[in-house]
Chains A and B, each alone.
Chain A
Amino acid sequence: EMELTQSPATLSVSPGESATLSCRTSQSTNFLAWYQQKPGQAPRLLIYGASTRATGVPARFIGGGSGTDFTLTISSLQSEDFAVYYCQQYDKWPFFGPGTKVD
């Protein structure tokens, strides 16, 4: 069964800085999505296909990687970007990672 590991668990950054979040899968895949979740809200799709931004997602969100190592880079963090970020693989059925909190 596919396993997802996200690191770090918490990432402390300041507004204007860049943040790079990591998602590692236990099996090679190119079927990876990223979501943002703010307190009291449902997750919001940011990236699918490892690097394709969803509709309306700002260009500062950049998905990359392939195989077993994937990244989500948020360039020039805005105040509204402080949230929890989840990766999700869809190689067979949807499976989510444990999340990285950006604060």
Chain B
Amino acid sequence: QLRLQESGPGLVKPSETLSLTCTVSGGSIRSSSYLWGWIRQSPGKGLEWIASIYYSGNTYYNPSLRSRLTISIDTSTKEFSLKMSSVTAADTALYYCARHEYFDFWSGSGWFDSWGQGTLVTVSS
């Protein structure tokens, strides 16, 4: 059974870079049918897709966050990671990693069929 587990610091200072890692187990990260993505959830903005990545390195970013994001993948360790720079209090949220079944590979559109339990990130000095 596929399992995704987020890890990373729970507290980040304003203007610094948030770094999260998702470890995939119970399935292949090299599947040709899926992307691997990050979604966040906050009381103010609800659920928001952040970014996704294909095992070969194709990346997809939310246009509203793109300038601050880097998503990467390491198939040897079955991990993918997210870096978000210049964080503010508005980035405080529960961050989920998820398997992203794509409908259109070129746009990255699709749905999320398996989720991690989420990790809470608070931006505060």
Contacts and interface: CB of A to CB of B under 8 A. Distances in A.
Task: State the main secondary structure of chain A at its contact with B.
Answer: loop
Given A86-B47, A98-B46, A99-B46, A92 B115 contact: no
Given A42-B116, A42-B117, A42-B118, A94 B107 contact: no
A65 to B, nearest CB: 16
Nearest to A97: B46
Interface string B44-70: 001111000000000010110000000
B63 A93 contact: yes
Interface in B42-100: 46-49, 60, 62-63, 96, 98, 100
Q: Output the residue of A42, A45, A48, A97 with the most chain B CB within 10 A.
A: A42
Contacts of A42: 96, 98, 115-118
A51 B116 CA distance: 24
Question: Interface range on chain B: under 10, 10 to 19, 20 to 34, or 35 or more?
Answer: 20 to 34
Contacts, number: 62
A88 to B, nearest CB: 6
Question: Interface range on chain A: under 10, 10 to 19, 20 to 34, or 35 or more?
Answer: 20 to 34
A103 to B, nearest CB: 18
A53 to B, nearest CB: 12
Interface string B93-122: 000101011010001111111111110000
A43 B112 contact: yes
A43 B47 contact: yes
23 contacts: A31-B109, A33-B111, A33-B112, A35-B112, A42-B118, A43-B96, A44-B115, A45-B113, A48-B101, A48-B113, A54-B113, A88-B47, A88-B112, A90-B109, A91-B109, A92-B107, A92-B109, A93-B60, A93-B62, A94-B39, A94-B112, A95-B49, A99-B46
Interface of B: 37, 39, 46-49, 60, 62-63, 96, 98, 100-101, 103, 107-118
Q: Which 9 A-B pairs have the closest CB atoms?
A: A42-B115, A96-B47, A94-B49, A90-B109, A33-B111, A48-B111, A45-B113, A90-B110, A98-B46
